């Protein structure tokens, strides 16, 4: 077998004027035009609007490659392209090799008949997606509606293309196209192993594996099929008729380490054990890494309704995490490094689960490999979102081929936990005038697509994994619209954001698993400066409003902010306070829902990342930097956590413990005046069992020694692990009224930058309590190890500065950090 990589420099030709420029493959058209300086930065100011023409053009991608006579001696010479975005014809030396219309299916075809020794040319002609979508709409017997956003490409639901490329309520509309994830030439004789999948059965220390090689074998042959993993080997002789699609071999593996999600198992923070699996058939070999684990998503009827619990190796895991959208609006930037950094930030914030949301894509192999390595469980939506979809035979045939490929490609990843039909497409049946008027027609379409096609193929090809009909949903075979239903399955809870309810509304529901809930904030100042020209750095300037895609987004942020906080003074203070607000909203939800375990067993907030610089629900800014929510997530998702939860004028101190160890110790609960002095002490001895949520103490607000406007509650728990005496301390602060009602004294914050062992460190002290302390160094690439915390008089905080990006190789020294340092805190946000 010979493989030649065909990535690298290709030529990109715009068909209307035959103009040419280079394109880097893998990569996309818009990024190529940007690299050749023909278009302005699409993320700056309102440039996106000037670039809508790109999706209305046809583009030709071409390159030459050399073929030696030996290559042509092979039986077949395949052209393999992982992702073509989207409607395209592929030719070799002017002869048509094939055509495609689905970016979630790979392309592979034998081009031997079109090749010659010497120089050859491969061409991929990509047609305008906008025009193709319009044509598809015209061909439909009745309209199939979809949700639209401020800048939107019509009929995006009729193309098998990443749905959010057509614009979203946090994303630009950039209908680019291109070739992604790898292009190669494969010359081979005999069958090709397209995929290898393993079914595992555990019997004590023995894992019985059945390895299936999924074949592309045009001619009959007899060959040896072998599989090796973790020092064990299985082999058998197979006789394959022409067109055989699979062959199987069994292996028995012993003594392997078991894979667990991060935070669980014998080494909760250590590397995840993964093993190389090699499958060989004749001259072809396939390699990948697998993990050994048992996983079920348990959906059982109970007195509250129906559970949704991720059970790994027999232990119930509380899923803590966020929703993932594509790493960038420009596919050229979907690099492994970027995926790694974003997912690393997820793990650093104590997340163990990521939902790959249906408006994005089935991610690259790199993504799932990183999740396997880091121990992040993956909830995988199929790529359908916020729309109705057709059920024409041609459309269903595309979807069937797509899901077959994706399931066989992904099912061996130990991180992959669940297949879910779509995002909100079940609920969307009730959203549009067309479907409200003629519901049966669209229900039949829904059933044909999701149950008749996607669900059927998932059940057939990955029977060990749960098929979850939709998100939200009451679970398998439950087709009620589960929007805001907290008894069964997963819910999306949006009352606080969309309906403007107060944060306490999060405490009005008891989700079994909340897979979406979110609150927006403005980005970090450096992000705003990257897209808003000087003179536009104001949240209601045209540039900043363009970078806010929710029609009432700024209004909701500001209105809610003023309910809780005083009017901030300037732009930096406004951005900061919006992030305090967002962190507070999501913490309120997560702490309460974690306190409900085991009734509730998952909280995935909306959303982890951004595809461009924008005001949004994300906790990571477009450049990967942490917003205050991400720092807060690190705290509210910690495995052992102390929360102060107020409901109906009662404050409860609750310890949540996701780990397998029990603790005992003391809760110090102090009522403090705003100057920090102590007014009352409500401390008690406490026990915290394993895998539990425990109320340590409850206090009526009305029975407190001071009026709420003059006091706050500070909690600290000092715990000893029963098994080995190891100690842990956690703290929490609760305001007893809206912070705007407090008269906050100036904390007289003292900040000093010193040179520590691992680089510069910031030392902070204060004379009076300082709330939501936010140190930044905007001009430097990096972040402080903590932010958004409260500092009490007498305490000292030492914070390392963690360089990111280019600063990793040239970290700042104490002097440059000191020069760039700015610190905000609540009292400093207003006059």
* Residues found near ligand BMA in the complex (CB under 6 A): 168-170, 359, 385-386, 423-424, 492, 516, 606
- Shortest separation between residue 360's beta carbon and ligand BMA, angstroms: 10
- Shortest separation between residue 428's beta carbon and ligand BMA, angstroms: 10
- Shortest separation between residue 550's beta carbon and ligand BMA, angstroms: 6
- Shortest separation between residue 171's beta carbon and ligand BMA, angstroms: 8
Collapsing DSSP to helix, strand or coil, 457 comes out as helix
* Token code pair at residue 342: 């974003």
589 or 753: whose CB is closer to ligand BMA? 589
- Shortest separation between residue 548's beta carbon and ligand BMA, angstroms: 12
HEC string of 419-444 equals EECCECCCHHHHCCHHHHHCHHHHHH
Collapsing DSSP to helix, strand or coil, 558 comes out as helix
Catalytic annotation, residues: 424, 516
Find the angle CA(175)-CA(181)-CA(187) to the nearest 5 degrees. Answer: 130
For residues 132 and 327, give the distance between their C-alpha atoms in angstroms, rounded to a whole number. 26
- Shortest separation between residue 386's beta carbon and ligand BMA, angstroms: 5
Q: Which residue do the tokens 């991400």 mark? A: 630
For residues 199 and 207, give the distance between their C-alpha atoms in angstroms, rounded to a whole number. 10
For residues 489 and 495, give the distance between their C-alpha atoms in angstroms, rounded to a whole number. 18
Nearest to 260 by CA among 328, 312, 219, 310: 312
249 or 603: whose CB is closer to ligand BMA? 603
Alpha-carbon distance values, 323 to 358, 364, 517 (Å): 10, 17, 10
Phi and psi of 726, rounded to 5°?
A: -60, 140
What is the enclosing helix (H) or strand (E) of 814?
Answer: helix 814-820
170 or 467: whose CB is closer to ligand BMA? 170
Collapsing DSSP to helix, strand or coil, 342 comes out as helix
381 or 786: whose CB is closer to ligand BMA? 381
- Shortest separation between residue 365's beta carbon and ligand BMA, angstroms: 25
165 or 386: whose CB is closer to ligand BMA? 386
- What string of DSSP letters covers 373-430? HHT-EEEEE-S-BSB-----HHHHHHHHHHHHHHHHHHTT-TTEEEEE--BSTTGGGG
Cβ of 518: how many Cβ atoms within 10 Å? 25
For residues 53 and 20, give the distance between their C-alpha atoms in angstroms, rounded to a whole number. 17
Q: Quick one: CA torsion of 651, 656, 662, 665, rounded to 10 degrees?
A: -30
385 or 521: whose CB is closer to ligand BMA? 385
- Shortest separation between residue 89's beta carbon and ligand BMA, angstroms: 33
For residues 751 and 776, give the distance between their C-alpha atoms in angstroms, rounded to a whole number. 12
196 or 354: whose CB is closer to ligand BMA? 354
492 or 641: whose CB is closer to ligand BMA? 492
């Amino acid at each position: 077998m010979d493989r030649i990589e065909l990535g690298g420099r290709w030529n990109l030709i715009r068909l209307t004027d035959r103009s040419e420029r280079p394109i880097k493959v893998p990569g996309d058209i818009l990024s190529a035009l940007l690299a050749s300086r023909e278009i302005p930065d699409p993320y700056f100011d309102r440039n996106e609007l000037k670039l809508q023409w790109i999706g209305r053009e046809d583009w030709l991608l071409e390159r030459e490659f050399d073929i030696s006579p030996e290559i042509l001696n092979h039986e077949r010479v395949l052209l393999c392209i992982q992702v073509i975005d989207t409607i395209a014809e592929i030719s070799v030396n002017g002869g048509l090799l094939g055509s495609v219309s689905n970016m979630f299916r790979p392309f592979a075809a034998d081009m031997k008949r079109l090749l010659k020794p010497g120089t050859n040319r491969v061409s991929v002609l990509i047609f305008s997606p906008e025009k193709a979508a319009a044509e598809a709409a015209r061909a439909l017997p009745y309209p199939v509606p979809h949700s639209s956003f401020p800048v939107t490409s019509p009929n995006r639901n009729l193309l098998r293309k990443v749905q959010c490329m057509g614009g979203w309520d946090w994303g630009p509309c950039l209908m680019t196209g291109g070739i992604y994830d790898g292009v190669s030439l494969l010359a081979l004789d005999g069958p090709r192993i397209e995929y290898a999948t393993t079914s595992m059965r555990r019997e004590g220390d023995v894992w019985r594996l059945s390895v299936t090689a999924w074949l592309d074998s045009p001619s009959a042959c007899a060959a040896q099929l072998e599989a090796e993993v973790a020092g064990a080997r299985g082999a058998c002789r197979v006789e394959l008729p022409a067109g055989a699609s699979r062959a199987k071999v069994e292996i028995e593996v012993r003594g392997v380490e078991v894979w667990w999600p991060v935070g669980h198992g014998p080494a909760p923070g250590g590397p995840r054990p993964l093993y190389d699996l090699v499958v060989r058939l004749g001259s072809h070999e396939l390699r990948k890494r697998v993990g050994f684990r048992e996983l079920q998503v348990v959906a059982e009827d109970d007195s509250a309704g129906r559970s949704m619990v991720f059970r790994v190796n027999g232990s119930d895991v509380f899923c803590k995490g966020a929703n993932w959208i594509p790493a960038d609006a420009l596919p050229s930037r979907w690099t492994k490094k970027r995926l790694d950094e974003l997912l690393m930030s997820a793990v650093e914030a104590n997340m163990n689960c990521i939902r790959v949301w249906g408006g994005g894509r089935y991610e690259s192999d790199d993504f799932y490999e990183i999740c396997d390595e880091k121990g992040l469980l993956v909830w995988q939506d199929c790529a359908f979102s916020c729309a109705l979809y057709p059920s024409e035979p041609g459309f269903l045939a595309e979807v069937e081929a797509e899901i077959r490929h994706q399931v066989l490609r992904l099912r061996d990843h130990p991180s992959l936990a669940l297949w879910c039909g779509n995002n909100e497409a079940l609920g969307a049946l009730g959203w549009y005038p067309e479907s409200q008027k003629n519901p049966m027609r669209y229900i039949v379409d829904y059933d044909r697509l999701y149950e008749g096609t996607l669900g059927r193929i998932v059940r057939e090809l990955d029977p060990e994994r749960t098929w979850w009909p939709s998100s939200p949903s009451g679970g398998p075979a439950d087709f009620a619209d589960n929007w805001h239903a907290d008894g069964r399955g997963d819910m999306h809870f949006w009352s606080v954001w969309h309906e403007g309810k107060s944060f306490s509304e999060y405490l009005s529901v008891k989700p079994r698993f909340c897979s979406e809930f979110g609150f927006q904030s403005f980005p970090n100042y450096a992000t705003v400066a990257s897209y808003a020209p000087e003179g536009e750095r104001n949240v209601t300037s045209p540039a900043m409003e363009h970078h806010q895609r929710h029609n009432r987004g700024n209004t909701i942020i500001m209105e809610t902010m003023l309910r809780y906080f005083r009017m901030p003074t300037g732009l930096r203070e406004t951005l900061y306070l919006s992030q305090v607000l967002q962190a507070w909203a999501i913490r309120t939800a997560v702490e309460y829902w974690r306190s409900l375990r085991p009734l509730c067993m998952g909280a995935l907030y909306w959303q982890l990342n951004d595809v461009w610089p924008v005001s949004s629900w994300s906790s990571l800014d477009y450049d990967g930097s942490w917003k205050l929510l991400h720092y807060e997530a690190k705290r509210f998702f910690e495995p052992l956590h102390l929360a102060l939860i107020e409901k109906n004028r009662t404050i409860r101190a609750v310890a949540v413990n996701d780990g397998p160890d029990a603790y005992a110790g003391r809760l110090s609960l102090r009522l403090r005046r705003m100057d920090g002095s102590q007014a009352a002490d409500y401390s008690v001895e406490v026990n915290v069992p394993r895998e539990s949520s425990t109320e340590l103490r409850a206090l009526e607000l009305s029975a407190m020694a001071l009026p709420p406007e003059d006091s706050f509650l500070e909690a600290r728990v000092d715990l000893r692990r029963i098994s080995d005496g190891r100690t842990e301390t956690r703290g929490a602060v609760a305001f007893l009224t809206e912070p705007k009602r407090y008269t906050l004294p100036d904390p007289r914050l003292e900040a000093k930058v010193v040179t520590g062992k691992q680089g510069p460190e910031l030392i902070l002290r204060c004379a009076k309590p300082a709330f939501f302390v936010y140190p930044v160094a905007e001009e430097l690439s990096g972040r402080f190890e903590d932010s958004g915390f409260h500092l009490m008089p007498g305490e000292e905080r030492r914070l390392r500065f963690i360089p990111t990006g280019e600063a990793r190789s040239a970290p700042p020294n104490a002097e440059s950090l000191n020069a760039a340092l700015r610190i905000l805190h609540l009292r400093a946000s207003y006059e």
